[in-house]
Amino acid sequence: MTSADNRRPVGTVGNRNGGGTTVRGLTQKAHSPHLSLNDSLEGEVQTFLTDEDQLHTYDDLTKVNPVTPTTVLKCLQARYSMKVFYTHAGCTLVALNPFQPIPDLYSLDVMKEYHFAPQPQEFKPHIFIVAEEAYRNIQGQLELVNQSLVVSGESGAGKTWTSRCLMKYYATVAASSSVVTSQDTVERIERRVLDSNPIMEAFGNACTLRNNNSSRFGKYIQLQLDRNQLLVGASVQTYLLEKTRVACQPANERNFHIFYQLMKGATDEQRKEWKMPRGQRFAWLPNSEKTVEEDCFHETVEAMIHLGIKAERQQQIFRILAGILQLGNMNFSSSSDESQPCSLNEQSKDFLQRAAELLCVPAEELQTCLRVRTLKAGKQSVLKPCSQAECSMRRDCLAKVIYAQLFEWLVTFINNSICADKSTWCNFIGVLDVYGFECFHINNLEQLCINYANEKLQQHFVAHYLRAQQEEYVSEGLQWSFVKYQDNQSCLDLIEGSPVSVFSLLNEESRLNRASDAKTFRVRLEKELCDNANISWDKFSKEPHFTVAHYAGRVNYQIQGMVEKNKDPVPPELINLLQKSDDPLLQQIFTDKETENPTSKGLSKITVVSKFKNSLESLMKILHTTTPHYTRCIKPNPDSKPLTFKKEEVIMQLEACGIVETIHISAAGFPIRIPFKAFIQRYGLIAKYSSFKSGSHCVDVVADSDDIPRQEVEKLLHVVLGDKAFDSEKHNSWVHCGRTKVFLTQSMLDFLEDQRKKILSRCAFTIQCCWRRYQCHRRHVRRQSATLIQAAVRSWLVRRQVHRWNIAAAVIQSTWRNWKALLKSLAEAELDDAKDLVQEDVPELNPVIRERGSVQLSSIQEPVTVRGWPMGLALASAPSITVSLTATGFQKMMSVMASLNLPSRRGEYKVETNQYTQGVASIRAQPKGSVKLHCQRSPLLYADRQPGMKSDVTGFNEILLDKSL
């Protein structure tokens, strides 16, 4: 599905919940849905159906003209043939089950497309539009009210899949806008909320004649949102699990999915542990050869892990389920002696032993509890053997109570895992998924309760929309003609009314301490309820029954066994046995049960219908405090064949749920109703800041006033509708000002929201401009101040640096001059002869310097090379040198030897100077004749070091030493 394919034609104005004619004209056209008998209407229908190629383009049935069951049916059929499965019907969404996977219809890209769309109504109808409307309402578009999504329809119409899509949508969009710091938490909550679905469906859904994944319980899921509309948790409320299916499966139907998952997905090691060898058949697993999509054991185990159910606890759960299956294979045989309990054959004893081991209870005690009952007479207890039927009933009762309590424990664990603290969330979006309307060949108490729940939901729709909305139109002064509709209140009075109803009579019969008789109960029903037209009896039927005319059709209910199911007795011996179990989970479940009902002593005090009625009433209270959004799921054919449309099947469902009447009211009415005060508070700024307003039309918001005058609201509406794009003659079809409220169509509301958003954008732009101008001026002033400060600091730093440089230069110059003078004096002292110094009146050397290096050297027999500085430079030019060295001390000798190095070279002496290799030399004049050596230790730092011999002589040294080389 692409965005281009999803968009509606833009040229249509008021395309949903607000037609293009006046209210009076539309109400005249909607007097009765039975006008198909009129010839003129027949002509209009034929004219409308002539252009069949355009029928699939009606994405909102309020555009159909005329609105009749035939035209609505034809449009739905045309859209279904084009693989378009969603259609708007006023305030409700009609969803046709395709009975085949449509993956591109629910992808993540499609979710984001509907979520980020400015106007989702411009897209093609989709379940995501309903979800997004509820999500935007919770964001406070008008007022903060909790939302409820009511998904209804027959069994197999696609309610469970629709609820799953809604949960996936909210888990995605509520987490997509989360900040980085909370991303991990949101993903964890999102995953846990979604992982609750596979577990609930595995333990609560089963394959029936009408649906491969039929919900055998009702659930209301509250998705909890914080102030930022982020998903922080969820809670699940369940209603009336069909636990009788554990021990009794109708013909051609299956048990709960989890048992088949256990059989098909367990490994060999697990089968050995659970005592379920391959090839073994179980009496309570019929049609095990049939494979459905929900038989996925790995998915259930993975969901358990994500929800925090540890491996050890999982093993305990699966052992209990395996023990239940072993109970089903036990068969009792009647004893010839009535004083003796029923007997078990060898195979049944083996199954009993396996069940006892899996349930961790003693086998003998289990056998006794199933075959013998305890009667109390005062303080004494009497043991009485049970008949074969009673033994089977006690076996079934044990299996049902274990499974029911295990299911309740799972629901509690899921709630503890995903439910957020009340302080962390402020609003919720509820998703209601209940069993659909059922009518089988044999219907009993379960079908009566299921259909009763559907009657309550239908009545909620009737009371909230069909009846209450029309009554409000009249009370607010709108010109309105009532649209007739089917009211099912009489059927509800029959089932739950006071003082006499089916439920009340059933409870009275259940509380009598006697065996129930189906014929007697039927006679009483006929006597007490004969005045109600919704109940009837077939006097010629052999089986006692009664027939109820529900909103969706007539259903025959079998009376046999109904009273016993309503009692739902649990023998106290079975409860005591399970409390003594060594299995930690069983012990925990039934210990908590005894703690909650300490006086029950194993026998239920509250009947099934009373408990179900109370839970359903609490659900209706929640729905009445929320804003409902209806989705009607339609089953196009009874055989669940892909893309097969049966007209008779669909028309019955459309008439039962009142789709045609809903379309009439939606086309002629105003689905949006806002009190005057709230309207002025939200949209008064449009008149205040509108560019086309006049001074007399300016309306200020009076937040503290309890009563906003009608004239002020009308002035505001006149300003809002003063745009040239609107025709003044059609204002009444867009908006109506009642006595206390303003009535709007969806198109008018969208226009008001768009105008308000534009004004808020302009105001925000003005604020941003002023703020940016202030910030710019502030930055300019700061930049100038910083420039002045930087200039002053730099000037001071430069002056200080220059001053430091001057001082340093003076110190360097002075030191350099002193050093040069010292070197000059030392050089003169070393190079000049002593006599020359006397003759030339050279100043006498410092005594300290003279004392440092004067030595007498003894003669050395072996020729040596003289190396010294600057003495060696003078010797380099001498023709021949004879040296006599007299050593007077070791230190003096070593000092001289460090500065003189005279190796032998062809009997001659060669003088090598330090300056020769270093490229530094200084000499006054070449010596003439013989040279007298006056050896002194040089005061210079590096004078007596021997430099390397690899450097070349360059510069002035090369000129001076040319002759010597």
Q: What pLDDT, in 10s, does the model give residues 197-246?
A: 999 999 999 998 888 888 899 999 999 998 888 899 999 999 989 999 99
Q: If you compute the radius of gyration of the chain from its CA atoms, what whole number of angstroms results?
A: 52
**224 φψ region: left (φ > 0), alpha (ψ -120 to 50), beta (else):** beta
Asked if residue 921 lies in contact with residue 960, where contact means CB atoms within 8 angstroms, the answer is yes
SS3 353: helix
SS3 per residue for 97-162: CCCCCCHHHHCHHHHHHHHCCCCHHHECCCHHHHHHHHHHHHCCCCCCCCEEEEEEEECCCCHHHH
Q: What residues form DSSP beta bridges with 154?
A: 437
- The CA distance from 579 to 452, in Å, is 35
Residue with tokens 């009608």: 710
Task: Please tell me the least confidently modeled range out of 73-77, 183-187, 291-295.
Answer: 183-187
When pLDDT is cut at 50, 70 and 90, the band that residue 864 belongs to is very low
- Please give the share of the chain, as a percent, with pLDDT higher than 90: 36
SS3 210: coil
Say whether pLDDT at 602 is over 50: no
Whether the model clears a pTM of 0.85, i.e. scores above it, the answer is no
Residue with tokens 């046995």: 577
pLDDT value, residue 679: 81
Name, in order, each residue with C-beta under 8 angstroms of 104's C-beta and a sequence gap of 6 or more: 1, 110
pLDDT value, residue 55: 83
The residue ranges of DSSP E strands in 540-697, in sequence order, are 545-550, 553-558, 627-634, 672-675
> Using the 8-state DSSP alphabet, how is residue 457 labeled?
H
Q: List, by residue number, the catalytic residues.
A: 155-156, 160, 211, 214-215, 436, 438
Q: Is 425 exposed, middle or buried (0-12, 13-18, 19+ CB in 10 A)?
A: buried
Say whether pLDDT at 283 is over 90: yes
**b/e for 679-703, b at 16 or more Cβ within 10 A?**
bbbbbbbbbbbbeebeeebebebee
- Please give the share of the chain, as a percent, with pLDDT higher than 70: 74
Pick 698 or 811 by higher pLDDT: 811
The highest-confidence range among 142-156, 637-651, 925-939, by mean pLDDT, is: 637-651
Task: Tell me the pLDDT tens digit for each residue of 729-745.
Answer: 444 567 877 788 888 87
Q: Is 528 exposed, middle or buried (0-12, 13-18, 19+ CB in 10 A)?
A: middle
Task: Tell me the pLDDT tens digit for each residue of 87-127.
Answer: 998 888 999 999 998 888 999 999 999 999 888 888 899 99
Instruction: Provide the residue type at 184 as one letter.
Output: D
- The CA distance from 604 to 601, in Å, is 8
pLDDT value, residue 749: 81
When pLDDT is cut at 50, 70 and 90, the band that residue 40 belongs to is low
- The CA distance from 415 to 235, in Å, is 5
**b/e for 729-752, b at 16 or more Cβ within 10 A?**
eeeebbbbbbebbbbbbbbbbbbb
The highest-confidence range among 16-25, 126-135, 647-656, 860-869, by mean pLDDT, is: 126-135
Task: Please tell me the least confidently modeled range out of 323-332, 434-443, 474-483, 652-661.
Answer: 474-483
Q: Which two tokens stand for residue 13?
A: 């104005």
> Using the 8-state DSSP alphabet, how is residue 421 labeled?
P
- The CA distance from 882 to 908, in Å, is 10
Q: Which two tokens stand for residue 887?
A: 């050593």
Asked if residue 882 lies in contact with residue 932, where contact means CB atoms within 8 angstroms, the answer is no
